[in-house]
Amino acid sequence: MDQAFASYLERVRAHRGELGEAMQALDAALELPADEGPHWRRRVRAALTELAHDIRTHVELTEAEGGLYDDLRASAPRLTNGVDAQLDEHAHLLVEVDRLLDERDDGLAGQDVAGHRAAVRGLLTRLVRHRERGAKLVHEAYEVDLGGSG
């Protein structure tokens, strides 16, 4: 692996940590009592906004020309199906986080807060699995550990 790509993988690893922190912050916001009304909604909205930003950055970073997924396809063609699955997952994650942000913008003042909370938790679960699969692909291709569990 050349030095430029090794540096790029370090950026991927660092961003992975930021994404993990955003996921933890959103999970903590979801744990607050929803009967706190506007406070709960503001905290969830802020954490969800940060997560949306980090998901977009993750997609841009890994899908960049000459980036992780391009290199995986070139250097480890046997992993192409896994790469394609990750790319498909990116599309879903972006749509879902935008849908949840729109839902937050609509207020949910008293209506279906439990449903919103469940949907956000579903997104977090999907992200954990996505990160696990991504780390596995990187490890299989480069024998590099991106760090963290999920």
Question: What is the pTM for the complete model shown?
Answer: 0.88
Could you read off the pLDDT of 34-47 as tens digits, one per residue? 877 778 888 988 99
User: Exposure pattern of 5-40 as b/e (b: 16+ CB <10 Å)?
Assistant: eeebbeebbebbeebbebbebbeebbeeebeeeeeb
For residue 136, CA distances in Å to 6, 52, 82, 149 come to: 17, 23, 10, 11
Could you read off the pLDDT of 45-60 as tens digits, one per residue? 899 999 999 999 999 9
Q: Where are the beta strands (DSSP E) in the chain?
A: none
Could you read off the pLDDT of 1-33 as tens digits, one per residue? 789 988 998 999 999 999 999 999 999 999 998
Question: What residue spans define the domains of the chain?
Answer: 3-142
- Read off the amino acid at residue 52: A
- Cβ proximity of 85 and 133 under 8 Å: yes
Could you read off the pLDDT of 93-127 as tens digits, one per residue? 999 999 999 887 655 555 577 888 899 999 999 99
- The confidence score (pLDDT) of residue 106 equals 57
